[in-house]
Amino acid sequence: MGFKQHIPNMVTLLNLFSGCIALIFAVHGNFVLAAFFVFLGIFFDFFDGLLARVLKAQSPLGIQLDSLADLITSGVVPGIIMLKLIALSVGVNDFVTFDDSWTATMKWTTVKVSYVPLIGLLIPLASAYRLARFNLDEDQQSYFKGLPVPANTLLILSLPLILEYQNNDIMNAIIINKWFLIGLTLLSCYLLNSNIKLFALKFKDWSFKSNATRYIFLILSLVALIILKFAAIPFIVLLYIILSLLDIKNINQPI
């Protein structure tokens, strides 16, 4: 195998590296830097696939490596962030507290666990299942079956970014409501593994007729981002699902 065959895999490892850094920041509650490195990882995730196609370097190893990297960047990190948000919503600092003295660390009785925030960890589980299904499903060449893991990650990451930068009392009250967060977690897990067919942002040509849904989606998404900023991301995910349902006849056509 020549050197160029390894280039996409090296970019995939940059995705994994970015995800590991994001995970460290997420565990320590720095959601802004966690989001930055997740966005960087998602960029590498897009770029490795593009490189693989351009260099004609697709391989079974690359497919598996890509999913392993995505599990960390777009599975575990949003799960930790949701755990932290749910912990905030129920008024605890984290899901677990303990006496950190030397003698206390050796006893389970000093550990206090809040179980409600652990619901957020359903996201990594659902993401892992979705990625495994994707690797085995040969039909998902021109469309996705269920919400792609990176799209779900952007949805979850938008929540702390809205809290940090939007400064809107109504949106803040909704986001830090535990029932909203629990409901969104369960909904995202369902969407990840649903059988809803969603269009892929792959263009077989640049004509508007062949790609009307994609162009409309991109234009409306750009307008929403300009107007609503981070609050546009949930709207964009909803728009993605609605446009896919409206364009179901064209989704099955090969690209």
Whether residue 211 lies inside any domain: the answer is no
| pLDDT band with cut points at 50, 70 and 90 for residue 24 | very high
Query: Domain holding 26: CATH number?
Result: 1.20.120.1760
Interatomic CA distance for residues 161 and 230, integer angstroms? 7
- Identify the residue with better confidence: 135 or 254: 135
pLDDT tens digits, one per residue of 117-128: 999 999 999 999
Pairing of strands 143-145, 96-98: unpaired
Whether residue 20 lies inside any domain: the answer is yes
| pLDDT band with cut points at 50, 70 and 90 for residue 60 | confident
pLDDT tens digits, one per residue of 64-113: 999 999 999 999 999 999 999 999 999 887 666 655 555 544 455 556 67
Whether residue 220 lies inside any domain: the answer is no
Q: Residue 168: which residues within 8 A CB-CB, separation 6 or more?
A: 162, 231
User: How many distinct structural domains can be found in the chain?
Assistant: 1
* Helix, strand and coil percent figures for the chain, each rounded to 5: 70, 5, 25
Span 34-53, average pLDDT: 88
Whether residue 156 lies inside any domain: the answer is yes
Predicted confidence at residue 186, as pLDDT, reads 98
What secondary structure does DSSP assign to 194-251, as a single string?
S--EEE-S--SSS-TTTTHHHHHHHHHHHHHHHHHGGGHHHHHHHHHHHHHHHTHHHH
- Identify the residue with better confidence: 226 or 254: 226
- Identify the residue with better confidence: 53 or 61: 61
Whether residue 249 lies inside any domain: the answer is no
172, pLDDT greater than 90: yes
Interatomic CA distance for residues 126 and 134, integer angstroms? 12
Whether residue 52 lies inside any domain: the answer is yes
Structure tokens at 32: 């802004």
Whether residue 50 lies inside any domain: the answer is yes
pLDDT tens digits, one per residue of 201-243: 877 767 877 788 999 999 999 999 999 999 999 999 999 999 9
Span 115-138, average pLDDT: 93
Structural domain range at position 47: 3-97+108-199
Whether residue 234 lies inside any domain: the answer is no
Query: Partners of 96 in the beta sheet?
Result: 113
Mean pLDDT in the chain?
A: 87
